[in-house]
C-alpha cells in the first residue's frame, strides 16, 4: 500500500529519496559494443539469435513488410496515429529556430546558421511493451528539423517480425529506414555503423537498462538525447480533487515498470486517505497489476504538506518527469514551477493525454534531471554553426586589443596572428 508521509515529521532524505536501480550491466554492454564494432552484421545476427530467439537473414524491414503492417493495422488506429502525429507536428513547428546575421559594427559581420543533423537513430522498444507513440515523439521533431535520414531500430518479435503498430507509426512519422535489431547491439550499430546499418550522428529514444548503458558508453562517439531512468509522476492536488482521478493518474505511471515512481503531494489529509484507498481498488483491475503493485509499494508515496506553496517547493525539489497540477486555477501556480519535465494543468488533463495525443513531447528528463535537462524537441535534431567576417578597417580598430588579451593569457602566437597583418604598415 502507498505510504503517507507528513512534511516535517520525517527526514527530507526519506521524503525525497529516489530508488535507483543498481547498474550491473556495464561490463556485458561493453563486450556487446566491442563485438559489434569487430564483427558488424554477423554480431547483430548472433545477438538476435541469443537474445530474441530469431535467425535473421535481412536486418532491414522491407517495403513489403511495411505495407503489410499498414494493411494489418485497424483503420481507426491509423486515423488516431495520423491525428496524433499532426498534433505533435503542429506543436513542434513552433520550436523551429532561425539563422541570424548581425551587422551592427562597421566592417564586422557576425552570424549563426541552424543546420539539421544528417542522420539520426531512433531506438524503439518492441518487447512486452511496444510503444508506437515513441516513434511519433522521436521521429516527427527530427523530420521537422530537416534530418535527411531517420534510422529506426527495434527488436524483432516471433518469427523475426516487427510489431505492426510500430511499423505503422514509422510510416506515418516519416522514418527513412527500419532495422530489426534491439538491445545494446542496436545502439552500438547506430554509433559505429555496420554493413547494413548506417552510422548516425545522434541516438534518441527509451530502452531498458542495457540500452541506457549502451547510450552512456557510446556518448562522445555520437550524441544522445539523455539517459532515461524509471518513469515518474507527481500529482499536486488540493482538497477538492477527485480521489479516483488522482489514483488513476498515479497508476498510469506505476504500470510502466517496477522502478517507476508515483507521488501525490497534497495539503488535504482527507484526500490522501481517499486516494490511498482508491489505489487499492483500482490496482486490482489493471492488466499489469503485478508491476503496478511493486511500483506503488516500494516507490510510491503521498506527501502531506501544510499548504500548496509548500507543495510547490516539494515539487521543485523532486523535479519530476511528469507534474500534474490538479487545483482550482492551475495557471496561478505555473509561474512558481521551476523544475519539471512536462506540466499538466487542470483536473481534466491526465498525463496520458500528453503521452499520446496533445502535441508536446513525451520523451522527458527523469531522476531529477529536469533541473537541467529539457524535453526532447526540434532543438535536439539541429546543430548551430557560427561565423564572422572582418574587413581590414574593422580589424585595424581591434587588433591591439586582441593582441593585448592574448598576451595576458600567455599565448603569443595568438597575439602575433593579429599583429602580423599590420607589421609593415605605419598604423
Active-site residue set: 321-322
Q: How far apart (Å, rounded) are the C-alpha atoms in residues 155 and 111?
A: 43
Under 8 Å between Cβ of 228 and 206: yes
Burial of residue 10 (number of CB atoms within 10 Å: 0-12, 13-18, 19+):
exposed
Taking Cα atoms as reference points, which of 323, 23, 119, 367 lies closest to residue 226?
367
Under 8 Å between Cβ of 108 and 388: yes
User: What are the CB-based long-range contacts (under 8 Å, 24+) for 124-127?
Assistant: 124/152, 124/153, 124/154, 124/166, 124/205, 125/154, 125/155, 125/182, 125/206, 125/207, 125/208, 126/154, 126/155, 126/156, 126/157, 126/162, 126/163, 126/166, 126/182, 127/155, 127/182
Under 8 Å between Cβ of 219 and 197: no
User: For the chain, what's the residue count?
Assistant: 427
Under 8 Å between Cβ of 148 and 138: no
C-alpha cell at position 336? 512558481
Q: How far apart (Å, rounded) are the C-alpha atoms in residues 398 and 395?
A: 5
Q: How far apart (Å, rounded) are the C-alpha atoms in residues 146 and 149?
A: 9
Q: Which residue has the cell 597583418?
A: 421
Under 8 Å between Cβ of 194 and 36: yes
Amino acid at each position: 500500500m502507498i505510504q503517507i508521509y507528513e512534511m516535517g515529521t520525517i527526514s527530507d532524505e526519506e521524503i525525497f529519496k529516489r530508488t535507483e536501480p543498481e547498474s550491473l550491466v556495464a561490463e556485458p554492454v561493453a563486450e556487446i559494443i566491442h563485438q559489434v564494432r569487430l564483427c558488424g552484421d554477423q554480431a547483430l545476427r548472433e545477438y538476435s539469435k541469443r537474445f530474441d530467439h530469431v535467425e535473421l537473414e535481412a536486418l532491414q524491414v522491407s517495403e513489403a513488410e511495411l505495407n503489410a503492417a499498414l494493411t494489418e493495422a485497424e483503420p481507426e488506429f491509423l486515423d488516431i496515429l495520423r491525428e496524433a502525429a499532426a498534433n505533435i507536428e503542429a506543436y513542434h513547428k513552433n520550436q523551429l529556430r532561425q539563422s541570424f546575421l548581425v551587422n551592427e559594427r562597421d566592417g564586422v559581420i557576425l552570424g549563426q546558421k541552424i543546420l539539421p543533423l544528417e542522420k539520426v537513430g531512433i531506438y524503439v522498444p518492441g518487447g512486452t511493451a511496444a510503444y508506437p507513440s515513441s516513434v511519433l515523439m522521436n521521429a516527427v521533431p527530427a523530420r521537422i528539423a530537416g534530418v535527411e535520414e531517420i534510422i529506426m531500430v527495434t527488436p524483432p518479435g516471433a518469427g523475426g517480425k516487427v510489431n505492426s503498430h510500430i511499423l505503422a507509426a514509422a510510416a506515418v512519422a516519416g522514418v527513412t529506414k527500419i532495422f530489426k535489431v534491439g538491445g545494446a547491439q542496436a545502439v552500438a550499430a547506430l554509433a559505429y555503423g555496420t554493413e547494413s546499418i548506417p552510422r548516425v550522428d545522434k541516438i534518441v529514444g527509451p530502452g531498458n537498462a542495457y540500452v541506457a548503458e549502451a547510450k552512456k558508453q557510446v556518448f562522445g562517439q555520437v550524441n544522445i538525447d539523455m539517459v532515461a531512468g524509471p518513469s515518474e509522476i507527481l500529482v499536486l492536488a488540493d482538497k477538492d480533487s477527485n480521489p479516483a482521478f488522482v489514483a488513476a493518474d498515479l497508476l498510469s505511471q506505476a504500470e510502466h515498470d517496477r522502478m517507476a515512481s508515483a507521488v501525490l503531494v497534497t495539503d488535504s489529509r482527507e484526500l490522501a486517505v481517499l486516494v490511498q484507498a482508491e489505489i487499492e481498488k483500482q490496482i486490482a483491475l489493471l492488466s499489469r497489476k503485478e508491476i503496478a503493485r511493486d511500483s506503488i509499494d516500494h516507490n510510491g508515496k503521498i506527501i502531506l504538506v501544510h499548504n500548496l506553496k509548500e507543495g510547490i517547493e516539494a515539487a521543485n525539489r523532486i523535479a519530476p518527469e511528469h507534474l500534474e497540477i490538479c487545483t482550482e486555477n492551475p495557471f496561478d501556480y505555473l509561474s512558481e514551477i521551476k523544475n519539471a519535465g512536462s506540466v499538466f494543468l487542470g483536473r481534466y488533463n491526465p498525463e496520458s493525454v500528453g503521452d499520446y495525443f496533445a502535441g508536446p513531447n513525451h520523451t522527458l528528463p527523469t531522476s531529477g534531471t529536469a533541473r537541467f535537462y529539457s524535453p526532447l524537441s526540434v532543438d535536439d535534431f539541429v546543430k548551430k554553426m557560427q561565423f564572422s567576417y572582418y574587413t581590414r578597417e574593422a580589424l585595424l580598430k581591434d587588433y591591439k586589443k586582441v593582441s593585448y588579451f592574448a598576451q595576458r593569457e600567455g599565448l603569443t602566437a595568438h597575439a602575433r596572428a593579429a599583429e602580423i597583418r599590420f607589421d609593415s604598415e605605419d598604423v
